[in-house]
Structure 1
Amino acid sequence: MAGSLRQIALAGAAAVVTGGVAYAVWRSYCPPKVSQGPEEQPPPLLIAEGRAGCTRPPESQDIPPGKQILVLGLDGAGKTSVLHSIATNQVKRSTAPTEGFNAVCVSTEKTKMEFLEIGGSESLRDYWKMYLPRILLLIYVVDSADHGRFPVAKKLLHQLVQSNSTLPVMILANKQDLEGAYCITDIHDALALSEIGDERKMFLIGTHVAEDGLEISSSLKDAQELIAQLVSETL
């Protein structure tokens, strides 16, 4: 844990430890700030396989137990665009919500990771808990500008983590570039993150997806690097 926090501090984050829970409050506040100077590039992440928009969940044998990274959040939060940016280092904005499952296999120099994104519509939320026993990390994406649905996002997040007090959770406060987006501290309060146990590693990162054709945002690079680090520490 100490090593993780040192990495966060070097990346320019303000890390606060409260009751044993680590909250990484990133530099993407409102408005987003421009990074100072050149940044060290994280190891490249390459897609080995992808099944975007599957109507049914991948077969259980496709995903080794304990090696899956689950990407969840309400419909329209930007899960598909965030996952594509993290996995490929390329920007591809998605306009239509995922109507099913999006499975992506990502390889690095050190490990191979299986990401599974499940759509956030009401009809698909029943699948969310089915995959929790298999995962090593939960990535929960919220739309920072969608104020009206924060109570729903909060309720679902708390339901997901209540059965596992040690599951690492990375919350991506997405769409920080939109007018009216909640600041990181407001999102922390809106999701009542201080109530989610004190034994788990928890990270709250402000993100946004750049325009198509541009390099991915520095905040997503930070998330990308942190995911790789958490996976290497867990496996």
Structure 2
Amino acid sequence: MGSRLRPAALWGAALAVAGGAAAVAVWAFVRSRVPPPAARPPPAAAAAAAAQGRGRSRQILVLGLDGAGKTSVLHSLAASRGKRSAAPTEGFHAVCVNTEESQMEFLEIGGSEPLRSYWRRYLPRVLLLVYVVDAADHARLPVAKQLLHQLIQSDSTLPVVVLANKQDLEGAYCITDIHDALALSDIGDKRKMFLIGTHVAEDGSEISSSMKDAKELITQLVLETQ
């Protein structure tokens, strides 16, 4: 897979893991402290997906705290143009991204506290987890770390792509700092995990090379996992 990625993507992932490898196996045993379910039920389509059999669907789950930039990232992946979204996702947001190799279905769940109870319900039925972190929001990185570790407890083999987003903002942590803040070194050896720094332009211009790298990586992981 490494031969398919641009040097920037490999460099970004390599800086974030011990030994310079682009992928690191990770596992964690952390007690779950997910808040109680929100009063509002998920949309009918999302509920139907959750009610499927034990096998995984073709969906890619996109999670992260509110304000991390999940919707903006998805728009960039789908439209290949930068566009930041200021409005937080209030529930569920589905996006289909077509590439030459495959059709990818992304399901974003809002990151506000009431919606986090849904996160783990969908995790067992997806091919891949994309976890978006606001690299400039230092104060909430401990919360992002805790929630990520709780999630990966649920499935010891699900591939994870962590996007250290908003790298263009002043004061944003680089990927090595994000790696430390999320304690990725504390996780074991049964999972593919990648860490890439990303940002989304505000002016609608073509997506950055880092977003292209993220899209290529996600596409390849989906092809390998199906």
TM-score (norm 1): 0.79
How far did residue 56 of structure 1 move?
Answer: 2.7
Gaps of 5+ in 2: 25-39
Whether 1:154 aligns to 2:145 is yes
1:181–1:214 CA distance, 2 compared to 1 (3 A): same
Q: For 1:17 and 1:190, how far apart are their aligned partners in 2?
A: 15
1:107 has 2:98 as partner = yes
Asked if the contact 2:135–2:173 (Cα under 8 Å) also holds between the matched residues in 1, the reply is yes
Q: Secondary structure at the match of 2:75?
A: helix
CA separation in 2, counterparts of 1:55 and 1:92?
Answer: 29
Q: Which has the higher helix share?
A: 2
User: Unmatched 5+ residue regions in structure 1?
Assistant: 24-53
Residue 139 of structure 2 aligns to a residue whose secondary structure is helix
- Whether the 8 Å contact between 2:61 and 2:107 is mirrored in structure 1 is yes
Within 2, Cα distance between the matches of 1:138 and 1:62? 16
Percent of residue pairs bearing the same amino acid type: 70
Kindly indicate whether structure 1 or structure 2 has the higher relative contact order, using CA contacts under 8 Å at least 6 residues apart: 2
Provide the residue aligned with 2:23 in structure 1.
Answer: 22
Determine the structure 1 residue equivalent to 2:83: 92
Q: 1:73 to 1:12 in 2, by over 3 A?
A: closer
CA contact (8 A) 1:55 1:101 kept: no
1:121 alignment partner, one of 109, 112, 116 = 112
Which residue in the other structure is 1:70 paired with? 61
| 2-structure distance, mates of 1:61, 1:145 | 36
Name which of 180, 184, 193 aligns with 1:193: 184
Aligned to 2:23, the other structure's residue is in SS state: strand
What's the offset of the Cα at 1:210? 1.1
Secondary structure of the 1:145 match is: coil
Aligned residues: 202
For 1:56, the aligned partner's letter is P
What is the alpha-carbon root mean square deviation over aligned residues? 2.3
